[in-house]
Amino acid sequence: MDSPTSSKWFFEPTTPVEGHLHAVSRTVFSQRTRYQRLEILETLSYGMALALDGRIQSTVRDEFIYHEGLVHPALLTHPHPERVMVIGGGEGATLREILRYASVRRALMVDIDAEVVEACRQYLPEFHRSSFDDPRAELQFADGRGWLERSEERFDVIVIDTTEPLEEGPAALLFTREFYEIVRARLTEHGLVTVQAGMTKVTELLGYSAVYRTLAHVFPVVAPYQTFVPAFGSPWGFVVASKGPDPRALSSQVVDQRIAERVTGELLYWDGQTHLHAFALPKYLRRALEQEERVLEDANPLIQPL
């Protein structure tokens, strides 16, 4: 293995005043797509990694933490998930976790950037593990919001696995009240949506709290949670919102039982104890959510600087 002194350094700006350095042994693939800058890198700490617009999205060493945390709380909470949609999810790992449920009969993935998906399919097989080839899976290349606006199909769970709403990026209008109202209309009676909602470290709460408050303006049940993703160097926030089911009502024992009954193969991160811990937010974060008053609108979306 290369030493850090013989490697290049990939600088990832995480805020306007902070960033991470990753030692990179090689750049496997690099391309400017129609929507964003795509890089597939081999890092010394985390192995193969996907970066979009200069920000690490997933790494082979710890992607299971992010993807299990994103997918399983909602699918374990739903009584019997059969129809699931993913908006984004280019690596195919979110789709992979959804397809571990035998109850799922249809898993639709809608991603705006075909070039990202095709690069991940070719260079990151450890992520998707042939999930694109599962007969229950369907892949469409389109704007996720536009797809939902045109369709009348309803889903038990919708997973929003997009990039952050960066300047000039494709995701800003996927974090607004108007979009979440469309999502609510496309959910079944017991439907849930999960949103990846950005960093939850003490210096970067404005984005997460605004997404939470916007979802709370649309859904009667809104359950925020977080987990620490090592490659991101930060705790990362998610929100489950629903028309009724609440993941916080599940005991540790029920979570473990449902995993045993529903999920194929072993989960490396999520279990009953992890579930309870993720939803037990620290005081500073609870206070930020309670005090937040902003509701994000199409006319005034959340935009994070590159």
Q: Which of 53, 62, 156, 161 is an active site residue?
A: 161
Reported as type and span, the H/E element at residue 269 is none
* CA 119 distance to own-chain centroid: 19
Contact 28, 123 (CB under 8 A): yes
Could you tell me which residues are beta bridge partners of residue 31? Answer: 38
**b/e string for 64-96 if b means 16 or more Cβ within 10 A?**
bbbbbbbbbbbbbbbeebbbbbbbbbbbbbbbb
Query: Rounded to a whole number, what is the distance in angstroms from the first to the last CA of the chain?
Result: 32
d(CA 99, CA 133): 11
- Starting at the edge strand found earlier in the chain, the sheet holding 47-52 runs 8-15, 18-32, 37-43, 47-52, 55-59
Q: Which alpha helices (DSSP H) does 34-92 contain, by range?
A: 63-77
Q: Is 303 helix (H, G, I), strand (E, B) or coil?
A: coil
Told to judge if 298 belongs to the known catalytic residues of this protein, a careful annotator would answer no
Inter-CA distances, 270 with 65, 70, 273, Å: 8, 10, 8
Residue 26, CA distances (Å) to 78, 90, 146, 201, 222 in order: 42, 21, 37, 30, 42
**Cβ contact 248:280 at 8 Å:** no
Catalytic residue annotation: 161
